[in-house]
């Protein structure tokens, strides 16, 4: 039995730097920061009062009349629908949202998302919590809580927070009836989704998969949670440069939001309908740190394992130069959150996985510009890898001015790098690691027959 | 050649008790664990019955060095941690978290995976309410400016939340704690598709083992919606029967009536069902006891699921039919060969009707001859945990060659073998497990009797 190869046919974005893949890419290559004050709610007194928000978004502009069916869906579901519409159009699988797919049996189209939960109805929820809290007995009065909750919480707003509703709505809009999943491995989710989706195709469980993620935690409870964990930057006086992956002065990540969706397909199926692959999903790795809920395994064991697995599946020995004498992976898109711990340990993990080749590859973080899109981050970053392969240019890590001796790889500080003189970019890894220790890496390669 | 996958360990926690024997014995009695909610003040809710798991201390299920971490485990995580340890012990797989199995098989961490389905986990109302009550304005309303910590209006109210508050409730925490307790460094995932979560995890673990990514996986699901927010969400999702005021003490066994058009609805449960899935060669090599083989897995999406949530429910869930057909194909068998089914059967009439329609679409007239093993009248609906419990039951049916008794206080729709029944011996070769979740994801697993 010949191996089924998985190729990437379409990609769509909704990000703080825009919604058009080309525009977002230009922004990244130019080193543009999308970070500014939080406008979604009043975060004025929050230790972190800034984020990378999606601005000027219109679902109707992306999916037309089908938008009316999804009015009550959560924000991140809207992002996913819009991103999917672009990916779908590029893949050439039909007229788009609300129409049946063309050239493929709907039961052979699956969905695998790492969609996050929708935003809670914070105001109503707060009102119920306060009504229910009995300060004298220090207990919850369930009757008082429920009275407010029943008055104020709406069925749709509550149900649309369920992350798998995003999958349900994508299925409705694009006519997918195949295997459908949603995973929530925190910041690793959408990389995992693309990886597992590629395995579904490889095994023959589907011919086409819609994969990726969508998320927004720019809401009071989301921001509160990460502030309490002291995981976010508190550089209130300089938000635009607050996301500083690999810089010695980094003090945490900056929250972003958005969606990244790709359409992937079995190679023969894609060629059979006359479509052109954009890149190949060549490998995938998944591991767990099994260390601590709050800390990363200090040698980056789990991260190393995920990268090694992804390379192995792609048939790459990460420690050996390729036939052009370059590192076998030219660009590793870092998880690179800008927390002290992540960036140091991820650097160690890359050294462990690549050995002597670590010093020859580029290892940068676009979170310096886009912020951290949490569950959507991995798929968005995977798309930047595809663009790097297509153009031969690797986007910079911005705000890296004070090198940290523990982050001593080539982090592409300050300016995009043109690799065309040395043969361009053929192979990339995209890393994503979740709170709690779940790690995922996907290997993307230039498509060749 | 793909590696075969077998079930070598079962760990369950649910209303019927802790451990697979308690679940099996409770089903066979048959006994219902449904009763009035005692764990929190449910007096203001429309549904005040539930199947609560018995008291346990999660500290007893983790190594001494990890006891401190149990403070940041929410209920869903606790259920999973207890169930996972029972599964490892039952399988005789020695990990750093199951050291009492001294004579078991020591497995390398990198070859041990973990896929545990979960739901959105609601933060404890009291924990949040207590903190929020310190951030009120002059009118006694919550003030977002008082909640923060910077500037004149800030009162730092959010600092009354424990620093690790967020980490307590992330859906991946059940899986992550299990990986840490047992040193499981292999592939790991958290699938969140409401009632379908656990079956999708079991399917994914099987695929991982089949392609050589792991030798053994913790696999299944966990959930407790037994809190104020969770119960209201389940009500909104149309899962729960309203409890009339005069019937608060009504015997739980009378409420949940699977496939009965007159059923008032389902009842919430809490539970975790975690299985040890293992490569067949690996299991045989160490002489492990095998409950059943995982013969096939299929998943599919109901395209119109979202419309059905807010509009008219469907008569027949096409996605579920597709998932079952796909699992049968994967197992290389026909519908004729299925001897019993462990379906969702929540007791919510509209959901049960769509499920029965799907079963009838696949099995046709023969459906009336296939016993449906319903567990919701006993353990309630444990959402993301349910599929783990269903699969545990299916594996035990095959291993013991028995069908547990059934509780049913009413009458299921014609043509369904789902009414009250006694425990009985049965000749079983293939048992199907299936589930459909809010959001339209469906999954099915075919288990085959293992004859060594």
Nearest by CB: B186 against A117, A175, A288:
A288
Which residues in chain A touch residue B213, judged by CB atoms under 8 angstroms apart? 286, 309
**Nearest to A196, CA basis, from A314, A128, A272, A113:** A113
Which residues in chain B touch residue A286, judged by CB atoms under 8 angstroms apart? 186-189, 213
Which residues in chain B touch residue A181, judged by CB atoms under 8 angstroms apart? 191, 193, 200, 204, 299, 441
Q: Name the fold adopted by B5-121+170-448.
A: Peroxisomal Thiolase; Chain A, domain 1 (3.40.47)
Contact A224 B158 (CB under 8 A): yes
Instruction: Tell which B residues from 194 to 223 touch A, by Cβ distance under 8 Å.
Output: 194, 196, 200, 204, 207, 211, 213
Predicted confidence (pLDDT) at residue B194 exceeds the cutoff of 90 = yes
Mean local confidence (pLDDT), A365-372: 98
Q: Looking at chain A, which residue has its C-alpha nearest residue B200? A: A181
Give residue B242's pLDDT: 86
Spell out the residues 6+ positions from residue A187 whose beta carbon is closer than 8 angstroms to its own: A335, A337, A372, A374, A375, A377, A378, A432, A433, A434, A435
A187 is known as an active-site residue: yes
CA distances from A159 to A73, A142, A220, B382 (A): 9, 21, 19, 17
Band (pLDDT 50/70/90 cuts) for residue A288 is: very high
**Å between B361 CA and nearest CA of chain A:** 16
Give residue A1's pLDDT: 45
Mean local confidence (pLDDT), A81-103: 94
Catalytic one of A84, A183, A187, A385: A187
**Nearest to A293, CA basis, from B22, B313, B321, B162:** B162
Give residue A103's pLDDT: 87
Task: List, in order of start, the domains of chain A with CATH numbers.
Answer: 6-120+157-272 (3.40.47.10), 122-153 (no CATH), 284-445 (3.40.47.10)
Nearest by CB: A185 against B128, B158, B172:
B172
Band (pLDDT 50/70/90 cuts) for residue B114 is: very high
β-strands A180-182, A331-333 pairing? unpaired
The rounded distance, in Å, linking the Cα atoms of B190 and B171 is 7
Which residues in chain A touch residue B47, judged by CB atoms under 8 angstroms apart? none
The rounded distance, in Å, linking the Cα atoms of A45 and A429 is 39
Question: How many other CB atoms are there within 10 angstroms of residue B67's CB atom?
Answer: 13
Give residue B102's pLDDT: 63
Give B321's DSSP letter: H
The rounded distance, in Å, linking the Cα atoms of A97 and A81 is 8
Report ipTM (2 d.p.): 0.98
Mean local confidence (pLDDT), A128-148: 95
> What tens digit of pLDDT does each residue of B2-51 get?
889 999 999 999 999 999 999 999 999 999 999 999 999 999 999 999 99
- Percent share of chain A, pLDDT over 70: 100
Nearest by CB: A294 against B126, B144, B164:
B164
**Nearest to B378, CA basis, from B415, B412, B404:** B404
Band (pLDDT 50/70/90 cuts) for residue B249 is: low
Phi and psi of A315, rounded to 5°?
A: 75, 30
User: Which DSSP string do the residues of A264-277 spell out, in sequence order?
Assistant: EEEHHHHHHTT---
Among B44, B162, B184, B186, most A C-beta atoms within 10 A, so best to mutate, is B44
Mean local confidence (pLDDT), B373-393: 98
> What tens digit of pLDDT does each residue of A338-356 get?
999 999 999 999 999 999 9
Give residue B105's pLDDT: 84
Contact A224 B310 (CB under 8 A): no
CB B271 within 8 A of CB B77: no
Please state, rounded to an integer, the average pLDDT across all residues of chain B: 95
Contact A162 B194 (CB under 8 A): yes
More confident of the two residues A95 and B358: B358
Contact B164 A228 (CB under 8 A): yes
The rounded distance, in Å, linking the Cα atoms of A369 and A379 is 16
> What tens digit of pLDDT does each residue of A402-447 get?
999 999 999 999 999 999 999 999 999 999 999 999 999 999 999 9
Token pair in block for residue A55: 């601005």
Q: In degrees, to the nearest 5, what angle opens at C-alpha B236 toward C-alphas B230 and B239?
A: 80
Contact A44 B309 (CB under 8 A): no
Among B303, B309, B320, B332, most A C-beta atoms within 10 A, so best to mutate, is B303
Phi and psi of B247, rounded to 5°?
A: -120, 25
- Percent share of chain B, pLDDT over 90: 92
Token pair in block for residue A185: 């491995």
Strand partners, B435: B443
Nearest by CB: B144 against A42, A226, A287:
A42
Catalytic one of A78, A269, A372, A411: A372
Domain with CATH 3.40.47.10 in chain B: 5-121+170-448
Which residues in chain A touch residue B196, judged by CB atoms under 8 angstroms apart? 164
Predicted confidence (pLDDT) at residue B56 exceeds the cutoff of 70 = yes
Predicted confidence (pLDDT) at residue B245 exceeds the cutoff of 70 = no
Among A1, A143, A171, A204, most B C-beta atoms within 10 A, so best to mutate, is A171
Which residues in chain A touch residue B45, judged by CB atoms under 8 angstroms apart? 142, 146
**Å between A234 CA and nearest CA of chain B:** 11
Which residues in chain B touch residue A132, judged by CB atoms under 8 angstroms apart? 125, 129, 228
Mean local confidence (pLDDT), A174-186: 98
Q: Looking at chain A, which residue has its C-alpha nearest residue B155? A: A45
Give B372's DSSP letter: B
Mean local confidence (pLDDT), A272-276: 96
A215 is known as an active-site residue: no
Please state, rounded to an integer, the average pLDDT across all residues of chain A: 97
Mean local confidence (pLDDT), A311-318: 98
> What tens digit of pLDDT does each residue of B72-81 get?
999 999 999 9
Mean local confidence (pLDDT), A147-158: 96
Q: Looking up tokens 């069902």, which residue turns up?
A: B273
Band (pLDDT 50/70/90 cuts) for residue B147 is: very high
Which residues in chain A touch residue B183, judged by CB atoms under 8 angstroms apart? 290
CA distances from A444 to A86, A196, A430, B439 (A): 20, 14, 8, 31
A372 is known as an active-site residue: yes
> What tens digit of pLDDT does each residue of B423-446 get?
999 999 999 999 999 999 999 999
Band (pLDDT 50/70/90 cuts) for residue B247 is: low
């Amino acid at each position: 039995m010949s191996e089924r190869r998985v190729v990437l046919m379409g990609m769509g974005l909704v990000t703080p730097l825009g919604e058009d893949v080309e525009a977002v890419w230009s922004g990244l290559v130019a080193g543009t920061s999308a970070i500014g004050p939080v406008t979604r709610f009043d975060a004025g007194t929050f230790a972190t009062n800034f984020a990378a928000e999606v601005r000027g978004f219109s679902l109707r502009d992306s999916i037309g009349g089908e938008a009316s069916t999804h009015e009550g869906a959560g924000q991140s579901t809207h992002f996913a629908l819009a991103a999917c519409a672009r990916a779908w159009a590029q893949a050439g699988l039909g007229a788009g949202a609300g129409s049946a797919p063309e050239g493929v049996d709907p039961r052979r189209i699956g969905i695998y998302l790492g969609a996050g939960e929708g935003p809670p109805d914070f105001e109503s929820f707060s009102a119920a919590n306060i009504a229910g809290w009995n300060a004298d007995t220090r207990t919850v009065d369930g009757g008082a809580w429920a009275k407010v909750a029943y008055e104020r919480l709406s069925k749709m707003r509550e149900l649309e927070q369920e992350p798998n509703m995003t999958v349900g709505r994508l299925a409705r809009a694009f006519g997918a009836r195949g295997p459908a999943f949603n995973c929530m491995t925190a910041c690793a989710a959408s990389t995992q989704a693309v990886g597992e989706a590629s395995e579904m195709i490889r095994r023959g469980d589907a011919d086409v998969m819609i994969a990726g993620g969508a998320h927004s935690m720019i809401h009071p409870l989301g921001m509160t949670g990460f502030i309490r964990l002291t995981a976010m930057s508190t550089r209130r006086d300089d938000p635009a440069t607050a996301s500083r992956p690999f810089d010695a002065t980094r003090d945490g990540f900056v929250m972003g939001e958005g969606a990244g969706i790709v359409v992937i397909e079995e190679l023969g199926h894609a060629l059979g309908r006359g479509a052109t692959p954009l890149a190949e999903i060549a490998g995938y790795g998944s591991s767990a740190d099994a260390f601590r809920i709050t800390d990363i395994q200090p040698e980056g064991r789990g991260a190393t394992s995920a990268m090694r697995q992804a390379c192995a599946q792609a048939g790459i020995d990460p420690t050996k130069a390729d036939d052009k004498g370059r590192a076998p992976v030219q660009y590793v898109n870092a998880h690179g959150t800008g927390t002290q711990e992540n960036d140091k340990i991820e650097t160690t993990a890359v050294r462990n996985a690549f050995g002597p080749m670590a010093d020859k590859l580029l290892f940068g973080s676009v979170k310096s510009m886009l912020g951290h899109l949490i569950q959507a981050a991995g798929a968005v970053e995977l798309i930047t890898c595809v663009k790097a392969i297509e153009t031969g240019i690797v986007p910079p890590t911005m705000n890296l001015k004070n090198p940290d001796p523990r982050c001593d790889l080539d982090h592409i500080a300050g300016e995009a790098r043109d690799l065309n003189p040395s043969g361009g970019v053929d192979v990339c890894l995209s890393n994503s690691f979740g709170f709690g220790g779940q790690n995922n890496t996907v290997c993307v390669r230039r498509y060749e027959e | 050649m793909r590696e075969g996958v077998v079930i070598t360990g079962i760990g369950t926690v649910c209303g019927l008790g802790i451990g697979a024997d308690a679940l099996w014995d409770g089903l066979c009695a048959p006994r219902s664990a449904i009763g009035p909610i005692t764990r929190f003040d449910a007096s203001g809710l429309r549904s005040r019955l539930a199947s609560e798991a018995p008291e346990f201390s999660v500290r007893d299920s983790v190594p001494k060095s990890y006891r401190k971490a149990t403070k940041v485990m929410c209920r869903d995580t606790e259920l999973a941690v207890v169930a996972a340890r029972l599964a490892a012990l039952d399988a005789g797989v020695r990990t750093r978290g199951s050291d009492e199995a001294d004579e078991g098989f020591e497995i390398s961490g990198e070859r041990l995976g973990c896929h545990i389905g979960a739901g959105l986990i609601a933060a404890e109302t009291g924990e949040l309410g207590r903190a929020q009550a310190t951030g009120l304005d002059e009118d006694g309303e919550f003030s977002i400016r008082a909640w923060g910590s910077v500037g004149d209006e800030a009162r730092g109210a959010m600092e009354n939340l424990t620093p690790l508050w967020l980490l307590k409730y992330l859906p991946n925490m059940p899986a992550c704690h299990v990986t840490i307790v047992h040193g499981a460094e292999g592939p790991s995932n958290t699938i969140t598709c409401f009632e379908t979560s656990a079956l999708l995890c079991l399917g994914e673990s099987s695929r991982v083992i089949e392609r050589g990514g792991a030798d053994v996986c913790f696999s299944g699901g966990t959930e407790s919606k037994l809190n104020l927010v969770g119960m209201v969400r389940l009500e909104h999702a149309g899962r729960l029967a309203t409890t009339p005021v005069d019937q608060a003490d009504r015997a739980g066994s009378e409420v949940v009536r699977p496939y009965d058009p007159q059923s008032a609805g389902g009842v919430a449960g809490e539970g975790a069902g975690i299985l040890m899935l293992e490569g067949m060669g690996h299991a045989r090599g160490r002489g492990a006891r095998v409950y059943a083989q995982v013969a096939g897995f299929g998943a599919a999406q109901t395209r119109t699921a979202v419309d059905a949530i807010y509009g008219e429910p469907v008569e027949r869930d096409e996605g579920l039919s597709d998932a079952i057909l796909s699992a049968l194909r994967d197992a290389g068998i026909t519908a004729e060969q299925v001897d019993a089914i462990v379906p969702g059967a929540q007791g919510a009439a509209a959901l049960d009707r769509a499920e029965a329609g799907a079963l009838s679409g696949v099995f046709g007239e023969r459906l009336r001859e296939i016993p449906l093993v319903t567990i919701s009248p006993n353990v309630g609906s444990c959402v993301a945990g349910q599929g783990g419990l269903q699969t545990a039951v299916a594996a035990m049916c095959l291993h013991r060659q028995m069908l547990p008794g059934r509780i049913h206080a009413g009458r299921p729709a014609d043509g369904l073998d789902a009414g009250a029944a006694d425990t009985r011996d049965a000749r079983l070769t293939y048992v199907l497990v299936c589930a459909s979740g809010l959001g339209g994801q469906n999954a099915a697993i075919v288990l085959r009797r293992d004859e060594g």
